Structure 1
Amino acid sequence: MPTLPRRPLGSTGIDVSCLGLGTVKLGRSEGVKYPDKFSIPDDDAVRALLHQAQELGINFIDTAPAYGNSEERLGQLMQRRQDWVICSKTGEEFVDGKSLFDFSASHTRRSIERSLKRLQTDYLDLVLVHSDGNDRQIIEHSDCFETLMRCREQGLIRAFGLSGKTLAGGLIAATLCDVVMVSYNPGHTEEAAVIDHAHKLQKGVLIKKAFDSGHALSGHHNAADAITENMRFIFARPGVTSIIAGTINPAHLQQNASTAARVLSATTAAETRRD
């Protein structure tokens, strides 16, 4: 199997695997948009999945307070915290079956301190603002970004950014933050300009919904081909740092990592031939 490469996360000084492990399915099965039902795995299955991810070369893990008890479980089950780059979020809470949002300075600070406790660590590598869709309102009319800057200065977090939902908000965030997380796949290219802008500014770019929350695979006659097509499309765009793909299926994790490594190896070889 080709090596799963790591890439600089913008100018943060952090190197992340080009494929990250999303962990919503470790802690939440309610109110999600996946096409297939699933059961939250037990502790032994999570330990095995984390070990497998590391064996495949994945060092980047994505979680959030809104992912049920994902943070707590990771804090209890991750081995050797220093081997992982941990991304969590702030702004969204999932309570009694629905999402609630709070971007105030006080909530942002409390959220980070709570994540540190849940994840059993004294720093977070990256914290993203979990947008409710009103990206510009969050950036321009809340204290969220300013609070994150202070937390970065104090060493509680190493970097921060926005997991946004709009082109306008993403462009602003790329200027102000260390990292942007955008939706990008062959069927959703509206935020491509955010990737381009962030790339020019040497900011990190994370891709969510690479497979449209699984819908791009469920409707395809060959899931393996769909994974390859989507990864080839995404990694062809300069500036993309890492794709965040959530799975609790060991076979799917293996397939995702193998495909990412193969696609990037082919891309590198093609670029070498052009040079």
Structure 2
Amino acid sequence: MSQPTLHDLHRPLGSTGLLVSPLGLGTVKLGRDQGVKYPNGFQIPDDRQARQLLQLTRDLGINLIDTAPAYGRSEERLGPLLRGQRQEWVIVSKVGEEFEAGQSRHDFSAAHTRFSVERSLQRLETDFIDLVLVHSDGNDLAILEHSDVYQTLEALKREGKIRAFGFSGKTVEGGLKALEQGDCAMITYNLNEQGEKPVIDYAARHGKAILVKKALASGHACLAPGIDPVRASFELLFAQPGVASAIVGTINPLHLAHNVATVAGVIRQN
């Protein structure tokens, strides 16, 4: 049987005008192995392995790639790895969180937001980033109401440096507020955590975009015997009309192919 792909299952990312695959590739593991919460240890892939993984990702019909300054060397590696392929990818990056010497720190000021986007453009070797999300520290409402990060992203969008912007937060209130003024919210939604569902519902009603992080509970989902946790996770997600895509951060080619086959099956069944 041939490997199913997602090439014909791309869908709108809210009202951004971008079309994305229902699965996106998260790239923490291309750049950072400290302070990450995965059940198993891993080695950062070398350039040859990373290139093969990205080629497989494309072949499987995934066009969405998720990175961030806080993902160690992820952005600066992706620049050269994606050289000559810019039109093939929808690139998501972040602002607000820096990861240095094993520690995270946050800065949501206008100056840092602009600096961060300019640096991401340079590292990714591109003139524009499709979607930039605010990497929240958990104080979602305070960031949105008392910092200049959203206004700065709006200005960068007008300047053509980013196509769309939004918020990767941790609370329902933050997600709703982020969608009122922005294009996209990235939320946690999986078999273990479904508290942010009101944000998905709001997005579906208002034509906004939802990306799901930790769709597979970062590899921690456990269910009754005989039930495939990956399939059950994606059935839960794609039953929600507001969800555009789920970001999965695997560097294992077999896991990637299995995830794609499962998502293709679930979406075709709906």
Q: TM-score range by the shorter chain?
A: over 0.9
Are 1:231 and 1:260, in contact at CA under 8 Å, matched by a contact in 2? Answer: yes
Structure 1 consecutive aligned stretches of length 4 or more whose deviation exceeds 6 Å: none
Aligned residues: 265
Query: Counterpart amino acid of 2:264?
Result: A
Question: Residue 262 in 1 paired to residue 269 in 2?
Answer: no
Note the 1:103-114 alignment, pairs <5 A. 103-114=108-119
SS in 2 for 1:32: coil
Q: Give the percent of matched residue pairs that are identical in Structure 1 and Structure 2.
A: 57
Note the 1:20-169 alignment, pairs <5 A. 20-79=24-83, 80-169=85-174
TM-score, normalising length from structure 1?
Answer: 0.94
Are 1:183 and 1:207, in contact at CA under 8 Å, matched by a contact in 2? Answer: yes
Distance 1:119 1:178 in 2: 22
Alpha-carbon distance, 1:140 to partner = 0.2
Distance 1:173 1:197 in 2: 11
Alpha-carbon distance, 1:3 to partner = 4.3
Question: Residue 242 in 1 paired to residue 248 in 2?
Answer: no
CA 114–220 in structure 1, closer or farther in 2 if over 3 Å, else same: farther
Are 2:216 and 2:230, in contact at CA under 8 Å, matched by a contact in 1? Answer: yes
Are 1:175 and 1:198, in contact at CA under 8 Å, matched by a contact in 2? Answer: no
Unmatched runs of 5 consecutive residues or more in structure 2:
none
Distance 1:187 1:238 in 2: 20
Distance 1:111 1:251 in 2: 34
CA 41–221 in structure 1, closer or farther in 2 if over 3 Å, else same: farther
Please tell me the root mean square deviation across aligned C-alpha atoms, in Å: 1.2
Unmatched runs of 5 consecutive residues or more in structure 1:
268-275
Deviations for 1:161-195, whole angstroms, at most 9, x for unmatched residues? 00010011111111111011000012111100000
Distance 1:119 1:160 in 2: 17
